[in-house]
A and B are shown apart, each in its own frame.
Chain A
Amino acid sequence: MSEFSRLLLVARTDFSYFFRTKWLMAVLISLSLSDMLVTALVMGRMISPEYFSFLVPGIVTVGLFTAATDTGRRIWLALREGVVQYYMTLPIRTSGLVVAYIISGGLGGVVYSSALLIIASFAVHPHNILNAILLLPFMFVLATGIAGLAAFFASISRRGEIYWVYAQALQVTLVTISTIFYSAQTISRYLPGPIATIADYNPLSLAATALRDSVFSGELLNATLLSNLLATSLPLAALGALAYWVILRTLRLRGKP
């Protein structure tokens, strides 16, 4: 078996573990569906009927984010419970193990958000399904970036439950300072410039905007937007991969992180 096949095998096992974790699926599905069918609907009545269509693509993006960050939980658990020692006895290089985890996180995010996108299309009519398919590779890269960020925080979490502090802070900060709930114009009109800039370049904002414009409004794919999405996601994936690789290498050399 080649190194690449082993890498795919580890990624596939981790990916299937994600979907087999019943409580996690219950969390994700109940959150996403209630956000879409209750919160978005009621907020639409309170703000304007168009707000529902605006928010639904944002909720799909949040679903992708939540599914991809589970990579961090799995890495944290493996480090905490010593399962990582078993991983290192596998006939695969450290870098292969790292890449397998990041790919699995990306796959988890993109498969889960695709399922949400199908559900969302019953609530908001998609104007261009082909664009949704074309966006999938970009969503995969975004999911690997988020998985990388989660892997980074899992790798630097030295004590007890501190990983959950990072995970919660990351989620609330990235989702709040983004264009998931409000447009870029609203942010720049009422909040200071630096916050508007962060929101503009937040990869979650870029993904939500791509879904809104290209899938639900039927506009052409925006090359600048997609290149920004790649430019912001890939460094995050690289950062996470590097942090996890350093931890695994330290473990291999010293026997402890």
Chain B
Amino acid sequence: MNRVLNLAAFNIRVLLGDPTWFILSWALFALQLAIYGSLISRLVGSNLPNYFFFYSIGLMIIVVFESAEDVGRHFVEHAHEGELPYFLSLPVSRSGFLVAQAIYGVVNTLVKVAPPLLAVLFIWGNLTVSGALFALGALFLLGLGITGTMVSLSFIAFKAVDIYMAVLAGLSALLIRFSTVFYPLAIMPNYYSPVSVLSPLTYGADLTRWVLGFDPKYLLNPVLAAVVVTAIAVSTLSLSARIVDKIIEGVKAA
């Protein structure tokens, strides 16, 4: 266990050593919320009351999604820059290696999303310890699910990085556009809503909004959302553990 924590701590030190990405992430969050969020919420008006708050949670989901994507990309880069064989030679089991990656991913996500979340709740006059903790819990679970998906897909990169990047990009565009990240399910056309319920982001976004007190008539059932987000986290992490165990050996550097 100590070795796993050591490995995770090493990755986290590298991550925190360059704060540029965090500062950029917070600054762009603030810019998009202050300009896009405030203007679009005025255009939406009474068609969806409190759209500004709806949008700010959606933006946080995007931050979680992108930071989970980072973990997958980080994992693939390790493989293709030849660092993976070194990590595999360490006295840490394959599952321990995956746990170290997951801890790195959780820290990356929390550092990027916690300050914007607290700032939004503070500005909105809705900052409570329980609300912030439950919202972070929902975002954390969603982040684990997306991380698991990205690491599971990394087996494609072991064959061809180009195809991995294409799959990732296509999947990201579809998962975000077809989800309830920026608009509620009730407003989507009937022909898109069945696709929307297949996106894990739909459940993560609606669960976080419910926890923070958004009008439930625009959201999915919170119990269903919590069950789906948890199931996705558990299943994709188990899948990625199997993949890491079986496919990772013999991966060639680019």
Contact = CB atoms under 8 A, between A and B. Distances in A.
Contacts of A51: 43
A176 B32 contact: yes
B31 interface: yes
B183 A43 contact: yes
A190 B34 CA distance: 11
A13 interface: no
What size tier do the contact residues of chain A reach? 35 or more
B28 A186 contact: no
B223 interface: no
Count chain B CB atoms within 10 A of each CB in A34, A45, A162 and give the residue with the most. A34
Majority DSSP secondary structure for residues of A touching B: helix
B20 interface: yes
B166 A172 contact: no
B44 interface: yes
A186 B183 contact: no
A29 B209 CA distance: 31
B183 A42 contact: yes
Contacts of B166: 22-23, 25-27
Nearest to B182: A39
A125 B32 CA distance: 31
Contact of A182 (B21, B40, B174, B178): B40
Interface in B36-95: 36, 38-40, 42-44, 47-48
Contacts of A46: 44, 47-48, 183, 187
B35 to A, nearest CB: 5
B28 A30 contact: no
A30 B177 CA distance: 10
B21 to A, nearest CB: 7
Given A22-B166, A46-B183, A172-B31, A190 B177 contact: no
Contacts of A165: 20-21, 24
28 contacts: A26-B165, A26-B166, A26-B170, A27-B173, A31-B169, A31-B173, A34-B174, A34-B178, A35-B177, A38-B192, A41-B189, A43-B183, A46-B47, A46-B183, A47-B43, A47-B44, A47-B47, A168-B24, A169-B24, A169-B27, A172-B28, A172-B32, A176-B32, A182-B43, A187-B39, A190-B39, A190-B42, A191-B39
